[in-house]
Amino acid sequence: MHTWKFYRTGGLDQVLIRNGADIAQLKELDQKLWTVLSCPTKGIRFDQKTLELLDTDGDGRIRVPELLAAIHWLTARLVSLDTLMEGSETLRLAAFNKQTPEGAALLASAKRILSNLGKSSSETISLENVTDTSKIFAETRFNGDGIVPSDSTDDASTQQVITEIIATFGSELDRSGKPGVDQTKTDAFFAAVKAYLEWAQRADGVILPLGDKTASAYAALSALRTKLDDYFTRCRLAAFDARATAVLNPAEGNFAALANQDLTESLLAIASFPLSAIGPARELPLSDDVNPYWAKALSVFEWEVVVPVLGTDCTKLTDAQWQRIKEVFVPYEAWLDSKAGAEVESLGMQRLSALLVSDAKASVDALIAKDAALATENAQIAEVEKVLRLNAFLYTLLRNFVNMAHLYDPKATAIFQVGTLYMDARATSLCFHVDDATAHAGQASTSKCCLAYCTLTRQGTKETRTICATFTAGFAKTLWVGRNGIFYDRDGKDWDATIIKVIDHSISLKEAFWDPWNKMAGMIGAQVRKVMAAKQDATLLNAAKKIETTTTFGPVEAPKKAEGAAIASTAAAMGIAVGLISTAVAGFVSALSRMPLWKTAVGLVVLLLIISGPSMILTWFKLRARNVAPILNACGWAVNRNLRLTLKLGRIFTTEAMLPAHAERQLNDPFADDNVARNRLILIVILIVLVTILWLFGLLDAVLPASLQRLHAF
């Protein structure tokens, strides 16, 4: 039975991972004692390739069984898991377990990688050594990926074949970074060669009516097929009804539109005109009286097609002759439509015939087979990379999964902390990535933490993100929707941050102490404003009534009286408010005057506790109830235990602006308001209050005449 050690932090007993033996025995640890049961692979600061290796089912989450499987996999390949505690991207070769088949195979692969890199004497292998496979295989011809570049052989003819396959069917990228061919492309290439030759050999005198000149003749025919069909169809319509002749020829307006242009035979505007003038059953002249745009094409058509098929005496083409010409090329068209292996046509018949009878395919197949034979051995490279990544990063994940050591360590940063938000003379580092602020807030509000959801933007790159920032020090009332700040992510990039939603909860005891006083001040101010507003409204209403009763022809003096009345009423209202406050203060002072000095001091303290105490006590309980777990659960984590956010930890996560140690302050503010008169008045009032208190306690009787002593005043 493995002996575990637990430590207490943030009011939570968490298992301590002391060494590799603790990691190896995590399968025995009751999952009820794990801090986290699953976490997402997105939105956290962690090596993504390692997360992909751990996420064996590809569901975007890392669960306890997947972590245990990775640990079991490492146990069979390493001598000890103590190396994980170092979190290093470099691993000593001696760390591989040569006593197990898995460890011995990985050790052989690691040595082969180092040998390919020219580091055969190295006693260590690093993650950098295995991540760039192009360097590993740069000097090797075969690497087990089943792809062979042209330089994988010294035979010039085989190199030429590989080059031809790449030119016709494209390439696959070899592990060395070079373009090459695999078995699929090789088979497709030689299949196309065979198919093309078989297709070409089917040609005979019927299919090639003009022999070697059939292709060029067919090209000339194809260039005019649409226009020729159009011409003879128009002529047949004109023969059907003579009234169609004028309509089927270009309208006079079409020619008028060309009158002011610089005309050339290549002008596209005349390309749509018929080949020649339309008439009932009219023959098509092949040289004279034709559309200039198509004259050259007709000339080529005459010598490439008409003369070989109909003879030199044919200078005009009838509809029947045109139909005969098309019938001559029907077999050729059908043959073209059945063409196979067109990809290799550019190599020419001679080269294709030579390839078919040579052993070129057998040579390329042999190279591919030789390369593929190393697939099993070279597949170990991926496992070497897996070992190195788990060795470098797994311990960090465990300290954010099995326990929350990084959350409760001021010198560390948890993987879910995405950066630091600077706002309102504060910096908070407890910031989480959020996909949907509204959905997240629905769950995270139960954390009892003050949360500010911010949109992040970078104007240069148009990037946007959303975060949830936890404020754990200062005042909540200074955070509002629309307030701007700056966010620095873990890569050091700065983002413009704007609050879009605030979850208002207690932040600090300092805020709780001042909250009742602020509310009292607000209530008093509201009452004073209410009384003053009521008096002013009554005065203005009274003045308005007097103005209405004043005759039109008499002198109008009411407004001046009303103004004076308003001032008097306002002053009276202020006097009432001051009187109320003075009465309360006087009553309080009177009560204190009948007490000894020490009781007076105690009374003042009791008064402060009566006013601020309940708020502070209530806030203290609220602050003790703060829990990071709901925030993480809203981010997709399955947090298994409460993660209390203590007052001390809160002061670490959110820091307030403070002057640096040994900083010098220049207190003389050249732009400060001139408050000399106000300050003197305040000083006089304070002195009067102090003298009154001293007099009420009889402390001035020794220096005052008998008539002014407190004893004779009552």
Tell me the pLDDT tens digit for each residue of 186-225. 999 999 999 999 998 888 777 888 888 999 999 999 999 9
Q: Report the amino acid identity of residue 440.
A: H
CA distance 546 to 568: 17
**Do residues 466 and 441 make contact, with C-beta atoms less than 8 angstroms apart?**
no
CA distance 563 to 543: 8
Instruction: Tell me the CA end-to-end span of the chain in Å, nearest whole number.
Output: 86
The size of the chain, in residues, is 714
| CA-to-CA separations, 371 to 153, 367, 376, in angstroms, rounded | 11, 6, 11
pLDDT at res. 556: 47
Residue 292 in tokens: 């200039």
Q: Report the amino acid identity of residue 603.
A: G
pLDDT band with cut points at 50, 70 and 90 for residue 381: confident
For residue 434, give the nearest of 500, 356, 342, 520 by alpha carbon. 500
pLDDT band with cut points at 50, 70 and 90 for residue 517: low
Is residue 390 pLDDT above 90, yes or no?
yes
Which regions of 16-158 does DSSP assign to beta strands (E)? Answer: 36-40, 61-63, 90-92, 124-126, 148-149
**Which DSSP symbol is given to 292?**
G
Task: Name beta bridge partners: 464.
Answer: 457
CA distance 631 to 449: 9
Residue that is written with structure tokens 């004279």 in the block = 288
Q: Report the amino acid identity of residue 52.
A: E
Is residue 584 pLDDT above 60, yes or no?
no
Q: What is the mean pLDDT of residues 83-108?
A: 94
Which regions of 517-674 does DSSP assign to beta strands (E)? Answer: 638-639, 654-656
Taking CB atoms within 8 Å and a gap of at least 24, the contacts of 101-106 are 102/76, 102/77, 103/76, 103/77, 103/78, 103/79, 105/380, 105/383, 106/77, 106/380, 106/383, 106/384, 106/387
Answer with the residue of higher pLDDT: 321 or 621. 321
pLDDT at res. 315: 87
SS3 content of the chain, % helix, strand, coil (to 5): 55, 10, 35
pLDDT band with cut points at 50, 70 and 90 for residue 559: very low
Share of the chain above pLDDT 90, in %: 53
pTM: 0.63
pLDDT at res. 577: 47
Is residue 158 pLDDT above 80, yes or no?
yes
CA distance 143 to 200: 39
pLDDT band with cut points at 50, 70 and 90 for residue 79: very high
**Which DSSP symbol is given to 399?**
T
pLDDT at res. 393: 96
pLDDT at res. 176: 75
Residue that is written with structure tokens 């947090």 in the block = 639
pLDDT band with cut points at 50, 70 and 90 for residue 1: confident
Residue 60 in tokens: 């975007």
**Do residues 425 and 466 make contact, with C-beta atoms less than 8 angstroms apart?**
no
CA distance 452 to 654: 13
141: CB partners within 8 A, 6+ apart: 151, 152, 153, 371
Q: How many CB atoms lie within 10 A of CB 201?
A: 10
CA distance 709 to 699: 9
Q: What is the mean pLDDT of residues 90-105?
A: 94
H or E element at residue 582: helix 558-593
429: CB partners within 8 A, 6+ apart: 413, 417, 419, 420, 653, 654
Q: What values do phi and psi take at 277, rounded to 5?
A: -60, 140
| CA-to-CA separations, 668 to 84, 358, 663, 673, 682, in angstroms, rounded | 58, 98, 16, 12, 20
Is residue 603 pLDDT above 70, yes or no?
no
- The mean of the pLDDT values for the chain is 85
Ranges 208-222, 509-523, 558-572, most confident: 208-222
pLDDT band with cut points at 50, 70 and 90 for residue 376: confident
Q: What is the mean pLDDT of residues 23-45?
A: 95
CA distance 650 to 644: 10
Q: Any alpha helices (H) in 358-418, and if so which ranges? A: 360-372, 375-398
pLDDT at res. 699: 67
CA distance 93 to 122: 9
Is residue 488 pLDDT above 80, yes or no?
yes
Q: What is the mean pLDDT of residues 124-149?
A: 78
pLDDT at res. 136: 63
Is residue 667 pLDDT above 80, yes or no?
no
Residue 652 half-sphere exposure, CB side, CA atoms within 13 Å? 14
CA distance 289 to 276: 6
Q: What counts of helices (H) and strands (E) characterise the chain?
A: 26, 20
pLDDT at res. 561: 42
434: CB partners within 8 A, 6+ apart: 43, 440, 453, 466, 467, 468, 634, 635
Residue 86 in tokens: 């170092």
Q: What is the mean pLDDT of residues 126-146?
A: 75
Residue that is written with structure tokens 């509201």 in the block = 526
Task: Among 47-56, 436-445, 530-539, name the one with the lowest average pLDDT.
Answer: 530-539
Is residue 589 pLDDT above 60, yes or no?
no
